[in-house]
A and B are shown apart, each in its own frame.
Chain A
Amino acid sequence: MAELCAVVGVGQTKHAACRADVSIAGLVREAVDRALADANITIADVDAIVIGKAPDSLEGVAMPELWLADALAAHGKPVFRVHTAGSVGGSTAIVAAQHVMAGIHGTVLTIGFEKQSDGNAMWALSVPIPFGMPVHAGAGGYFSPIVRGYIARSGAPKHIGAMVAVKDRTNACKNPYAHLHEPDWTLEKALETPMLWDPIRFIETCPSSDGAMALVLMSEERADKHAGRKAWVHATSMRSEPTAFAGREQVSPVAGEMCAADLWRKGGIKNPAEEIDVVEMYVPFAWFEPMWLENLGFAPRNEGWRWVEDGITEMGGSLPVNPSGGVLSSNPIGASGMLRFGEAAMQVMGKAGEHQIDGAKKAIGHAYGGGSQFFAMWLVSSTKP
């Protein structure tokens, strides 16, 4: 029977296109120091460190957690590195939580980061495979045909993506750490922005960011003695499937559906739309919001776009999605998943400041990566399960 695990501290950097003011170590410590302060502990209190980030060619440092051992005062401690593509921020938090749940460590510091301005992100994300046909369309070019498939299948009107984008960018204005602060978006203006990979528009696309997120996790025994608000981890879930195989369902991948179903079952959630107060989901291209609402089991198939249109996912709606501004407003790849997990924790801890959803008791963090094939989720709550 696993131990209980709680998030007792959260810290993140000011995400930006280029954090030229800090080294990689400085970027990581900015988030770490804030998390430690939030948890009211010192770095000496940390028993183990679990770090996640995306491909190392984004910064040009191989296995940087080794070099960062000094910056993290990790001498004599365990340091563990997770890498599961875009979902890494989420899976890292899960691996860290498992160290606590297994009873191995009582206080675990977990970090997700990316300083992708140090390298060339577009190159790093699309290094051509020899003998193949490079169409140079990047991530947008990979996902937009899938979005087209969703629009065709669901009959969604064309403005839904732009609605999500305006919502997330507006929400981000209430998040001091978000990369993009763009307060003047309207749906009309959004629909005038150019199509980048039709049907995905400029505004519906995530930025490339430098940033880091850090969480302090504690065992129940320590958390109970810890004065301060906590986010109890009720359940975690991960699922993966191959990138491409004949007959693969690309719009609503089965691995995503199974990951969510597993989370609901473990967390005792019978009706997600009713029981979950806030959702932080991984939406790098705006149309993924309606698609993931269906994939995660909130909205019925082909109905996700109606929930967007009806304002259900706005901050004032009955199921706020990405009050932090989401990946659409900040995307340091290695951190993005942990930003979702951490923001969910902040919501139930009541620490989300201006973008706090009042009375949030149960929240989920969701991350995905690869060709929509790696999924990681957690369910957190202000009370123990």
Chain B
Amino acid sequence: MALRDIAIVGTAQRPSEVNSTFTSVEILLPVIQQLLDKVGIERSDIGFWCHGSCDYMSGQPFSFVSAVDAIGAWPPIVESHVEADGALALYEAWVKIQTGEVDVALVFSNGKTTSGPIDQILSLQTDPYMVAPLKPGFDALAALQARACLDAGVVTERQMAEVASRSRRDANNNAIAFTKGNESVEELLAMPYTMNPLRAHDCATPVDGCNAVVLAAGDIARRLATRPAWIRGIDHRIDTQRLGARSMTESSSAAIAAQKAGVGKDRIDVAELHAPYTHQELLLRKAMGLSESTHINPSGGALVANPAMAAGLARFAEAAESIFAGSADRVLAHCTSGPMLQQNLVCVMEGE
């Protein structure tokens, strides 16, 4: 069966903040409304709504239920939810449109990351019998991976600092980003370790944020956007989680997903990689075989604004926007989940 042509036709993101005193619903509602206005559609035009979020982050079981209040589910709607980043919700919406059941979907995600101890919460993803009781922090797990990469010569501290320096500079041009800076590589290398071998700037800034995109099929997409960002390939894969059971110096799931998404078929102008740690950006670039000519994270990436459960969808939004703006013709959006780049979703989009 031939796959349908499906594109992102509009995006909306809330500027990042920390310690937000708004509820998740109050944060979400204006973003959804803004997106609908941008694309020029009504709620009733949406055939399927799909949401990504994580109960554990908000401290309330079934917390996603209140998000239904933000989208105006009356009359009743077709909607679904994934306990994961909005990028996975986008995947579910893409699958649904592929079945032909709907033609237009709105995907949204939100994360009030700073309302809880995200480092502890994410480390609850680990093996509950063998690993979680040791209370490893999520940053610590990343640091273990960074150490392995440095020792293997796969990355250098200088390269990590280059990623940080570039990302912080690029963030100056991004209203959504939170952490901005103009430090040189030398200045960053001179900073102390916060979790050896990671320095503060090697770790993403947790922020409160939310975002949304609209997907549409075929001619509907052409009607809704002057230059839709067509999804040419999308795939996600997972690695073993067992620490030590896989190489920490590569990401095979990212490599497979990139290959299945067709990354290598042609040049990539812009790659928005969801890399909450600088060394992980380097690993992902290698895993996906990205060339030096690919512009990585012009938005600054997740490093400068990491709303957990929304950072992946933010990459999709940024990548799609570069197509809308005409500054790129073929882009890549990526989302990761789990410790040490365990699960990876890769998508290739093109302007027509």
Binding site for B on A (CB under 8 A): 1-3, 23-24, 54-64, 66-67, 69-70, 74-85, 91, 95, 98-99, 101-104, 124-125, 127, 129, 238-243, 245, 254-255, 258-259, 370-371, 373
Contact = CB atoms under 8 A, between A and B. Distances in A.
Interface in B233-283: 235-242, 245-246, 252-253, 256
B81 interface: yes
Contacts of A57: 55-56, 61
B129 interface: yes
Interface stretch (B90-98, B150-158, B223-231): B90-98
- Size category of the B interface is 35 or more
A98 B54 CA distance: 23
Interface stretch (B7-15, B63-71, B201-209): B63-71
Interface in B78-136: 78-84, 88, 91-92, 95-96, 98-101, 121-122, 124-129, 132
A78 B238 contact: yes
Contact of A69 (B56, B96, B99, B240): B240
Contacts of B79: 238, 240
B322 interface: no
Contact of A58 (B61, B81, B95, B132): B61
27 contacts: A24-B128, A55-B61, A56-B56, A60-B124, A61-B128, A62-B54, A63-B84, A66-B241, A66-B337, A67-B241, A70-B240, A70-B241, A75-B239, A76-B239, A77-B238, A80-B236, A81-B84, A84-B81, A85-B62, A98-B96, A103-B98, A104-B98, A127-B59, A239-B77, A240-B79, A243-B66, A371-B65
B76 interface: yes
Contacts of A127: 59-61
Interface string B317-343: 000000000000000000001110011
A62 B124 contact: yes
Given A66-B339, A69-B342, 5 more contacts: A59-B128, A80-B236, A83-B64, A103-B1, A241-B75
Q: Which 5 A-B pairs have the closest CB atoms?
A: A55-B61, A102-B98, A255-B76, A103-B1, A83-B83
A8 B79 CA distance: 27
B191 interface: no
B3 interface: yes
B62 A370 contact: yes
Given A2-B100, A74-B238, A242 B95 contact: no
Contacts of A370: 62, 65
Contacts of B22: none
Give the secondary structure class of A's interface: loop
B95 A83 contact: no
Contacts of B239: 69, 75-76
B18 to A, nearest CB: 20
Contact of B121 (A62, A76, A240, A243): A62
Nearest to A128: B60
Contact of A66 (B56, B59, B338): B338
B95 A102 contact: yes
Contacts of A91: 80
A102 B238 CA distance: 21
Nearest to A103: B1
Nearest to A254: B76
Contacts of B61: 54-55, 57-58, 124-125, 127
Contacts of A55: 55, 61-62
B256 A63 contact: no
A104 B81 CA distance: 20
A99 B95 contact: yes
Contacts of A58: 61
B56 A81 contact: no
B73 interface: yes
B245 A79 contact: no
Contacts of B73: 240-242
Contacts of B256: 76
A245 B74 contact: yes
A23 B337 contact: no
Nearest to A86: B62
Nearest to A258: B76
A63 B125 contact: yes
Contacts of A63: 54, 56, 83-84, 125, 337-338
Contacts of B56: 56-57, 62-63
Interface in B158-184: none
B75 A254 contact: yes
Contacts of A240: 68, 73, 76-79
Given A79-B238, A241-B74, A23 B95 contact: no
A74 B343 CA distance: 11
B241 to A, nearest CB: 5
Nearest to A66: B338
A78 B235 contact: yes
A69 B80 contact: no
Nearest to B127: A67
A98 B95 contact: yes
A241 B71 CA distance: 10
Nearest to A247: B74
A66 B59 CA distance: 20
Nearest to A123: B61
Contact of A56 (B55, B100, B338): B55
B337 A76 contact: no
Nearest to A49: B238
Contact of B65 (A23, A62, A238, A243): A243
Nearest to A5: B99
A69 B243 CA distance: 13
A85 B62 CA distance: 6
B276 to A, nearest CB: 15
A255 B79 CA distance: 11
Contacts of A85: 62, 65
Nearest to B131: A67
A208 B95 CA distance: 34
B80 A79 contact: no
Contacts of A124: 61
Contacts of A103: 1, 3, 98
B127 A76 contact: no
Nearest to B123: A62
Contacts of B82: 80-83
